[in-house]
Amino acid sequence: GECGRRGGYMELQNFDPSVREQIYKMVSIGLCSNISGQVMVDCMVKPPVEGEESHALYAEEMKRLYDSLLVRARKLQDALSGMTNVTCSPINGALYAFPTIGLPRGAVEAAKLAGMPPDTFYAVELLDATGICVVPGNGFKQQQGTYHFRTTFLPAEEKMDMVIDKLRTFNEGFMLKYAGT
């Protein structure tokens, strides 16, 4: 499920067999994957195929999940783009939005006083006020003088409106608080 389990795999194409063998050895010494993670990855890379008993249910569940993710992505993108001093490019892939936030000078100065990068300051204030955790953009080597955060659209579809409302209310208050300072 959506970030509830962790697993991974690596596929090597067009590698010399001796190089592939060395990479396999190097990666294998650091792996201690749990059983449920191994099963999950196996199911992910080999889903039921048409004609198998479970294929119809699998296809129905995948479509429902995919459609729900699309609804949530569009809803979050539209909401972010409608917030004061926030712009959000279309969300195409992954499970993240990476909006740009135009921080008022007062917020940049308050961040400096707090000893934090400005977008970290925004993220910490958001977390403190709402419980919503975002990742500050400064960890992604953003262009100097620009501010961002990364957020996800994984909350359940029925909770997205509540999350968006909390984010919108926080953002409006934050922008007002620091606009005149």
Which stretches of the chain drop beneath a pLDDT of 70?
Answer: 1-6, 29-34, 181
Cβ neighbours for 101, distance < 8 A, ≥ 6 positions apart: 85, 86, 119, 122, 147, 148, 149
Residues 69/83, Cβ–Cβ less than 8 Å: no
Residues 152/88, Cβ–Cβ less than 8 Å: no
Instruction: Please state, as a whole number, how many other Cβ atoms lie within 10 Å of the Cβ of residue 103.
Output: 20
100/85 Cα distance (integer angstroms): 8
Among 59, 90, 92, residue whose Cα is nearest residue 77: 90
Residue 114 sits at φ, ψ, to 5 deg, of: -80, -5
pTM greater than 0.85? no
pLDDT tens figures, 120-159: 999 999 999 999 999 999 988 888 889 999 999 988 899 9
Q: Looking at residue 5, what is its pLDDT?
A: 66
173/10 Cα distance (integer angstroms): 45
Q: Looking at residue 1, what is its pLDDT?
A: 39
Q: Looking at residue 137, what is its pLDDT?
A: 93
Tokens of residue 81, six digits: 């783009």
